[in-house]
Structure 1
Amino acid sequence: MARIIPICILLCLILYSSSLVAQEVDTTLPTAEAGKLYFIPLPAIGYNPVTGLLYGVAASGNILLGDPSDTRLSSAFLTTTYTTNSQLLMTLKSTVYSKHDKWISMGDWRLLLSSQPTYGLGTGKQSELLLSNEENNFELGKYNDGVDKGELMEFNLFRFHETVLRQVHEDFYAGVGFHYDGYWKINDVLLNLDSDPPYVTNHYAYSTIHGFRTNGYTTSGPSINAVYDSRDNINSPYKGRYAFLQFKMLPTWLGSDRSATQLWLEYRDYFSMSRRVERNILAIWSYFNLTTSGRLPYMGLPALGWDQFGKSGRAYPQGRYRGEHLFYFEAEYRFRIPIQPKHPERFGGVVFVNTISASADDLKLNLFDHFKSGAGVGFRFMLKEATRSNVTLDYGYGMDKKGAFYFNINEYF
């Protein structure tokens, strides 16, 4: 019943907004002022079986570093949370546009003293592959893809990703970046090589087979990047499109445990669904994250929910699907709910669907062999009209017959 209530409420709001769409309302939003910091602090409180009780602070900041006529809005998101399971999670994620949009800086910094269940590789049906390691003379046991049971893994992560791009022509940018991910104190909680039979986790099996340390590893290296961005707003676009290409080179001479290259291809677009209501749009988001050469460590493999802002895969836990190659697609209908006549843009809703496919080379599962999908609904409250900053509450339900609520700031893409 608890899963049905949010859907019923949202359907009622959709019907109510449809009855008001013909009314004449002023939908003009105020514009952001140059140099003014728009700051939204919020408490972060939640609970799930992995973290226990989570509490801390989350804050969103926006600023215009130039004239609104030729400078896009910059955005940053900061979180610091602690959990009753002794997990410390600190993140800073930003996209900054300089005066006249001449430069873009994109950052993803994280310090996680954390734990998370992992579920093997690929999006195929649960299967088994018996693997052996002749050098160590023992069987690695079951190596499952997409297993239903999560294998809890404790780990620490320091991430420093920073990319700087220069405007080449109007909405097109090119530049370079540097990316460091250091994992240490990895502990496979369920790993037990002394039991009969031994219980071997997916992380341990993959790491041993491919020559990675099981208690920690590093990826480090530069990238070349290209961005096309014609969106009218970074927080909640009503029109425009966004494309991002990034090619990472992660050589051993810069600290990576094994050399590898990785390609990120991303595209977003926004289509108007109403001549009268600018906010009523269909938004789409898609990306490929591909291992193009070499071998990445288990936690460094493309995984659901590990994008820059950690917003892919509503309906599934972060890292639920992982593999050498990953494809993601999401479509979302966003609409206004004009229940407040003086501020008709204040409230809104969304309906979304998403799907993912991940490969697993060791299991001979290719990209697009299998898909896992999710769907859900959400409610929006525009907290800062000048920056279109929304507080979001969503409910997603996946093919694993599980659902979850998501509380966030700004649209997911």
Structure 2
Amino acid sequence: MRKALITIYLIMVCICISFTAKSQEEGRKVNIIPFPVIATNPTVGFAYGVSPGFTWHMGNSQNTSMSSIVGALVYTTNQQLLFSVRGNTFLEGDKWNIMADLRYQMTSQPTYGLGTGSGSIHPIVNNDYGYSERHYLKKHQMMEYDLIRAYMTGLRRYEDTRFFYGLGYHLDVIYDIDDHLLNLDTIPQQITQHYRYNRLKNFSTTGNTVSGVSLNLMYDSRDNIANPYSGRYAFASWRINPKFIGSTQNSSTLWLEYRDYFNLSEERPRHMIALWTYGWFVTSGNLPYMNLPAIGWDMFSRSGRSYTSGRFRGEDLVYTEVEYRFPLQRNSDLLGGVIFANTTTASSRTENINLFQNINLAYGLGLRVMINKKSRSNVNLDYGWATNGSQGLFISLNEVF
């Protein structure tokens, strides 16, 4: 079964590469940014590797939006190996938009329980997974696992509008889970949140599969997907994960996302306020613990600056971020700056934590270096702080949103 899943994954990687190769064969220029990765944040420790970016047009640039793919091959001091290919491809005349999110990771991640607020302060619980005893740890609950992700979505443009509609297939296989703090041999047993939740919901504690199809609607009027100066973006995706196509259990989820850009200067369009918000909800059935909505698990892993990936997780999650962007030079767009703030709220039906009951805040600032003026590709260096004491340096390619 695992060999078949890896084969599917490699086929999808080849499909993404073929779009780039086709563009080159037809004489269309592909801009390649061989971006080296030397970064640090709470999830990876220190990371070393490459994250090349590719931008091109599949047709006339007057009526075809820019396509963009970002790859990554990274090794970290937390002994993580991360490989990914993620991006959007617009076919000629924007008749179709192909979205891909492909990953293979041998990785680790701390978990902190479910929901936001005081209820998510990484408890270990005892006595048949109940709460008659609770021990609060001074450290998170670290887990090691392997991940195969293969998402592919095809969206058809509706007539001459900027509306798109289409179908997608989504596969997540998380396996070889090593829950470091779990110890069933002690008295009382040390039960982690991951173990407790998965046992309550009848999932395996060592690995699970979520395989589903999605119905998708999108509106995209952004002038540039790598670094928008104007337009707006809205995306809705209802995903159904039935057992008969490979999911461990039946479930469904809903993703709702909106982005907007408000210019503050006609002469300097880079001077703006940008808004990003999304909601991610389990609408039926149950998902394994590691597949529940969480910050940092969006397509490009950009949400939750200041936090480790997966710091907040729950059956329902709403994330909002506002960013003030501005040029740092009077007559050049080479250098820019940002000031950002984000909020996260997550629910936990098993822990009786409601959505919007608790809201966690983070903020920070960053530097932008435009390394390709035509495609507006940026190198981003951001440092963020959170009200719970989390902080970190985040380095990425292209605007965060």
TM-score when scaled to structure 2?
0.89
The residue identity in structure 1 corresponding to 2:75 is: Y
C-alpha contact (below 8 Å) 2:85/2:100 kept by paired residues: yes
C-alpha contact (below 8 Å) 2:145/2:175 kept by paired residues: yes
**After superposition, where does 1:195-234 map in structure 2 within 5 Å?**
195-234=186-225
Aligned counterparts of 1:245 and 1:147: Cα–Cα separation in 2: 38
1:151 aligns with: 141
- Give the % identical residues: 43
Aligned counterparts of 2:90 and 2:138: Cα–Cα separation in 1: 42
The residue identity in structure 2 corresponding to 1:398 is: A
C-alpha contact (below 8 Å) 2:119/2:351 kept by paired residues: no
The residue identity in structure 2 corresponding to 1:301 is: L
Q: Which moved more, 1:289-298 or 1:138-147?
A: 138-147
2:118 aligns with: 125
2:382 aligns with: 394
The residue identity in structure 2 corresponding to 1:109 is: L
1:243 aligns with: 234
C-alpha contact (below 8 Å) 2:81/2:107 kept by paired residues: yes
Q: Deviations over 1:52-99 (max 9, x none)?
A: 543211111100111111110000000001234432110110101001
Aligned counterparts of 2:319 and 2:43: Cα–Cα separation in 1: 25
Aligned counterparts of 1:36 and 1:178: Cα–Cα separation in 2: 30
Instruction: Choose from 336, 347, 360 the match for 1:372.
Output: 360
The residue identity in structure 1 corresponding to 2:270 is: R
Does 1:36 find its partner at 2:29?
Answer: yes
- 1:130 Cα shift? 9.7
- 1:48 Cα shift? 5.5
2:259 aligns with: 268
2:284 aligns with: 293
Q: Deviations over 1:139-183 (max 9, x none)?
A: 225598998731000100000011000001320000000000001
Q: Secondary structure at the match of 1:206?
A: helix
* Change beyond 3 A, Cα 1:259–1:199: same
Aligned counterparts of 1:360 and 1:269: Cα–Cα separation in 2: 29
2:107 aligns with: 114
**After superposition, where does 1:61-140 map in structure 2 within 5 Å?**
61-126=54-119, 139-140=128-129
Task: List, as ranges, runs of 4+ consecutive aligned residues in structure 1 with deviation greater than 3 Å.
Answer: 46-53, 126-132, 141-149
Unaligned stretches of 5+ residues in structure 1:
1-32, 133-137
Q: Secondary structure at the match of 1:205?
A: helix
Q: Deviations over 1:247-292 (max 9, x none)?
A: 0000111111110000000000001111221111110000000000
Q: Which moved more, 1:120-129 or 1:158-167?
A: 120-129
Aligned counterparts of 1:79 and 1:231: Cα–Cα separation in 2: 25
C-alpha contact (below 8 Å) 2:38/2:46 kept by paired residues: yes
C-alpha contact (below 8 Å) 2:124/2:193 kept by paired residues: no
Number of equivalences: 373
C-alpha contact (below 8 Å) 2:37/2:49 kept by paired residues: yes
Does 1:182 find its partner at 2:170?
Answer: no
Q: Deviations over 1:349-378 (max 9, x none)?
A: 111111010000011111111100111111
Q: Secondary structure at the match of 2:183?
A: coil
Instruction: Choose from 52, 56, 72 the match for 1:59.
Output: 52
Unaligned stretches of 5+ residues in structure 2:
1-25
C-alpha contact (below 8 Å) 1:34/1:67 kept by paired residues: no
**After superposition, where does 1:8-27 map in structure 2 within 5 Å?**
none
Does 1:323 find its partner at 2:314?
Answer: yes
Q: Secondary structure at the match of 2:312?
A: coil
The residue identity in structure 2 corresponding to 1:240 is: G
- 1:401 Cα shift? 1.8
Q: Secondary structure at the match of 1:361?
A: coil
TM-score when scaled to structure 1?
0.86
C-alpha contact (below 8 Å) 2:113/2:120 kept by paired residues: no
* Change beyond 3 A, Cα 1:53–1:412: closer
2:391 aligns with: 403
- 1:198 Cα shift? 1.6
